A and B are shown apart, each in its own frame.
Chain A
Amino acid sequence: MSEQIKTAEALSLEALRSGDKAEIASLVEIFLDPVYRLALRMTGNEEDAEDVAQESFIKIIKSLPSFEGRSQISTWIYRIAMNESLMNLRRRKPLNASVEIDRETGDSQDEEIQIIDWAGQPETELITSEAKKELDSAISRLPEGLRSVFILRDLQDLSIDNTSEILGISTANVKTRLLRARLKLRQDLSVYYRERVIKE
């Protein structure tokens, strides 16, 4: 492999499809961090994230010869990683699957909106190791349907259209879920910071 890491756009589809190992190694190098981060946020723990990342890349490499390039390769890879993450969650708590689906479509905006002005608090108080745990905890409490949209759009910086394509839902649905996810996380952090950071 060359010393400089390639970008996704520079990957040769022809070489990938034909099983060129150096090119495949470049692909893994480019997407390992994003896939691992996605898996970690979806599953909530390092062990499962490792399994998901590993299974995702095994599936990606196996499927490369039949990848037709109708979507961007990044979109295709994120879709595989998201599906692997969801399968991991289903395996872990199969009995909760139907409950999750109900919660995804339920309206969570009835909750009283917290009005606490914590955004201007000193960074040293907002970013503590305890606050980091709360960030992790709040995102893990989101229903999967909201969490997946927030991860792709706000953490992986993907567009609404790409997020829609990866999850197989409409752009309107992506926007609705994104708003709910952002409001729910904001609400949870507001409660957290009200109790710990805001001085009366």
Chain B
Amino acid sequence: MNQTLECKKLIGELSNLIDGTVSPELCAELEAHLKECKNCRIVVDTTKKTIELYHRDEASVEVPEVMREKLWKRLDLRDFTQ
């Protein structure tokens, strides 16, 4: 990817842009660059998708039932759980 100064600025602000924490002025500047630069649009879209995939994957992780039981016993809290 051949990066212009605007591309480098966008990459530097990528997290803030995704998190919505850039100032309105900077946001407008970055959005204007994104309209012109396909590569940067791809970087923004794939970064958002990366976070989304991890987030979704995380929600599917559950504590194994065996471990839960062992923990309650170890902490001596078995009588206080549902």
List chain A positions with a Cβ less than 8 A from chain B.
1, 3, 5, 21-22, 24-25, 28-29, 32-33, 36-37, 40-41, 46, 50, 53-54, 57-58, 61, 109, 112-120, 126-127, 131-132, 135, 139, 150, 154-155, 175, 178-179, 182-183, 185-186, 189-190
Give, as a whole number of angstroms, the nearest-CB distance from A100 to chain B: 21
B10-54 interface mask toward A, CB cutoff 8 Å, 1 = contact, 0 = none?
Answer: 011011101000000000000000000001001101111111011
Contact residues of B: prevailing secondary structure: helix
Among A24, A36, A41, A131, find the residue whose CB has the most chain B CB atoms closer than 10 A: A36
Contacts of B61 on A, CB cut-off 8 Å? 33, 36-37, 40
What's the A-B contact tally at a CB cutoff of 8 Å?
A: 116
12 further contact pairs, Cβ within 8 A, besides A113-B3, A155-B54: A1-B81, A21-B80, A24-B77, A25-B77, A112-B1, A118-B49, A127-B56, A131-B53, A154-B54, A175-B15, A189-B50, A189-B53
Number of chain B residues close to chain A: CB under 8 A:
41
